[in-house]
Each structure stands twice: as C-alpha cells, then as structure tokens.
Amino acid sequence: MRITTWNINGLRAGLSKGLLASLPILDADVLCLQEIKSRPEQLDPARLDEIARAYPHLAWNPADRPGYSGTATWARIKPETNSIGLGIPEFDVEGRVIGYRYPAFWLYNIYFPNGQRDGGRVSYKLDFYASLLDRVDQHHARGEAVILCGDFNTAHNEIDLKHPRENAKNTGFLPEERAWIDIYLNHQLVDVFRSRYPDRVEYTWWTYITNARAKNVGWRLDYFLVSQPMVDRVVDVVHHTQVMGSDHCPVTLVLAD
C-alpha cells in the first residue's frame, strides 16, 4: 500500500500546474492533500470527474474561510469509515483533519497550523498539537494503530532545515514547537523517515523566494508518524523532490500488504 501526503498550496493552482499528470509517478493508493484552499464545487467538473475516476473514494474538508487551509483525501481503496475534523469548532472551521479507517489502522491527513511570522498563532498551533494527541491516545488505548501524515509546520531537529541557528527564534523551529514532536514520539509514535534514515539530509518545503528550491535551502515539514506496532510494515518513505507543482514536495509511505 502506498500513501502519499502533499501540501499542494492551492488545489486549483496545483491542477493548473500538472497535479493530475503527477499521479502516475506517485502511484498512491491514498493521496492526502493539505492546504487545498478550495471546495470541490469550485473545481472544473471535467477535472473533478477525472479525479473521481482515479480515486473513487473522496473526502473533502474545506475551511469555512474561502481560499484558506483545507484538506482532501483521495483513495483507491475504500475505507471502512471516515471522520472529518476533531470535533473542536475552533480547529474544525479551518478544515485541518480527515481520518480514514482501514482494517489495520486509522490514517489521519492533517494540516497543522502555522504559528505566523509574528508568533500570533503559536498558542493556537500548540493547542492543536495537544488536541490531536488526545485523539491518538484514545486510539492507542483501544489497541488501534494510527498513521499521521501531513504538513506538521515544524522542523523537528537541526538536521531538518538548512539554517537552524538563523531560525532558532522563528516559528516552525521554536523550542516549544519542536518539543511537541518529541511528545508525539513519546506516545508510541515513530517518525519513520528519520528512523530509517537517521543521517539523511532531505527537505520537503522550500520558500518560493530566493530560488531556494534550486539551492536546496529547505525545511523538512512533512511527516509520517506511525504507531510503533505498525513500524515493521514500513517498506520505505520517499521524498519526491523532483515532483513540482507546490512549494512542498510529495512524500510517500510504502507499506507491506
């Protein structure tokens, strides 16, 4: 099974840049998109039909605010059920979470909040981390495995961004943000890319300014966190740095059947 996460930074923009042409390259059984910034009814009907033919099991969680945030999960494999949001209005109005239940695990597609350059949303971001972790703990208490994927909007360690010292006081690399990744890893979750490749320097996001992607001046912001009992099923985690269409690249988790 192949699960791909991708912050598309605007679904309509992504479609205009060749998103559908990238689908055979990714060959994802489940595609988790973040920051879609649109509703399905805003898409060209022909494009929507093409999506539905490739991925017949679709879930959408757009934000209430037009042109902002939002998530979508497209699947070839039918989930047993799905859940939209966390049941917490202050987060759910921004369309940040979709859950798909499969026989062996719950898959969560998540767009974590950005703390903003002035730090004005750091508290909101940390509250979101805490609320999502409550959901994860509930699954683990019932003996259910989870896979969390998406744009975490946080680089965990210095290896995960090009200029750690220069960004030590910037949101996305603040100590209190990074600490939440540690907390998640202490709650029976594994960052499977870093576990498999402890010394590999790869990024998943590059700013559009300063020609950062060509220079590979980036951050690793997009993750798969997997419940510890599921780790033996992980075959690989692949950063598709060659796939364009967004300021993020897609990341694929390959699971043994």
Cβ of 95: how many Cβ atoms within 10 Å? Answer: 26
Cα-Cα-Cα-Cα dihedral sign, residues 10, 16, 18, 19: positive
Cα-Cα-Cα-Cα dihedral sign, residues 129, 135, 140, 141: positive
Cα gap 75→47, rounded to integer Å: 16
Q: How distant, in Å, are the alpha carbons of 173, 174, 195, 231 from that of 132?
A: 20, 19, 22, 20
pLDDT tens column, 200-251: 999 999 999 999 999 999 999 999 999 999 999 999 999 999 999 999 999 9
Contact indicator for 188, 230 with CB cutoff of 8 Å: no
Cα gap 219→162, rounded to integer Å: 7
Give the CATH architecture of domain 2-255.
Answer: 4-Layer Sandwich (3.60)
Cα gap 2→23, rounded to integer Å: 12
- And the tokens for 139? 């699954």
Contact indicator for 44, 69 with CB cutoff of 8 Å: no
Question: What is the SS3 assignment for 119?
Answer: coil
Q: Which residues are catalytic?
A: 151
Question: What's the pLDDT at 105?
Answer: 98
Cα gap 138→124, rounded to integer Å: 22
Cα gap 226→202, rounded to integer Å: 19
What would the mean pLDDT of 128-152 be, rounded to a whole number? 98
What would the mean pLDDT of 159-168 be, rounded to a whole number? 98
pLDDT tens column, 81-104: 999 999 999 999 999 999 999 999
Q: Is the pLDDT of residue 257 over 90?
A: no
- And the tokens for 160? 């995960």
pTM value surpassing 0.95: yes
- Residue 179, H or E segment: helix 175-185
Q: How distant, in Å, are the alpha carbons of 43, 70, 195, 246 from that of 81?
A: 25, 20, 30, 30
